[in-house]
Amino acid sequence: MNGLKDLLEKAKKEHFAIGAFNACNLETVAAIVHAAFELHSPVIIESSPGETKFIGSRNLACLCKNFAEETGLPIYINLDHCRSMEDAYAAMDDGYDLIHFDGSRLPLEENLRIVKELVTEAHDREILIEGEIDYIEGSSEKHDEGLPVIKTTDVESAKKFVAETGVDILAVSIGNIHGVFTEPELLNFDLLRELSSQLPCFLSLHGGSGIETDQLKQGIENGIVKVNINTELRIAYRETLENVLRGNPDEYAMYKLLPPIIEEVARVVSEKIKVFNNVVK
């Protein structure tokens, strides 16, 4: 029995979403767990390829599982934007609950073939697979320009992909972009409703940072059950770190400097969990 799948089913039925928050070190994991624990909320902790390389997939999995045992929280681990089968299998071996294979830059047929193979292996291990067919623009940074041109998810391609792979989750492109930009992102709810009605799988929203609250809530009301947040955590971490270092020029014991950073990242996570309506579910 897959606990994450059951949770996503509940989210879809009751119109809330699970926050998937990126982490690459002890401080960010601790901040995410602290916020989730305070709100009695299940949570997904995830790592991008760069974050995974930095901390190590086994290290992150062990850290998350330790926190889960300590707090009693349902904490799930996702490999975010994985682009190689080798990395996907390594994460499965290391205890990840969800693998997001990003084949959006591959020809559809090659993407389909790889995801189909991963789904077969993952389901044997009670692991979920998330797929992506249309490249989601941007990067997890603070951008000083307007929004780029966005290619939205093609409904017919999505139907073919989901039907032939049996993928559990599809990362949709409906106006969402990775990163924070100078103008707001506007989601295409007509397209989202069509995808939600036509596809049997769960739908996830990447690039949740920078999307206004009412847009996120409407997205969840219309079928989104997982929202990825990274950039806003990175901004909170860096800006708080810079302020703490400026205010404590003579302190070299890093563990004394880190609590305000953890507190600020936790505040951002807490705000998002509340927006996702995922409190005491």
Active-site residue numbers? 80
Paired with 45 in beta bridges are 21, 77
Q: What is the DSSP string of 137-149?
A: PEEEEE-SS-PPP
3-state secondary structure at position 229:
strand
Count of CB atoms situated within 10 Å of the CB of 55: 19
The DSSP call for residue 224 is E
Please give the Cα distance from 225 to 90 (Å, whole number). 26
Torsion region of 207: left, alpha or beta (phi above 0 gives left; psi -120 to 50 gives alpha): left
Q: Which of 210, 208, 177, 231 is nearest to 278 (CA)?
A: 208
The residue to which tokens 């889960």 are assigned: 68
The residues near 182 (Cβ < 8 Å, ≥ 6 apart) are 143, 144, 145, 146
Paired with 46 in beta bridges are 22, 78
Rounded-to-10 torsion of CA 56, 62, 67, 72: 140
Please give the Cα distance from 26 to 37 (Å, whole number). 16
The residues near 195 (Cβ < 8 Å, ≥ 6 apart) are 153, 155, 158, 170, 172, 174, 203, 223
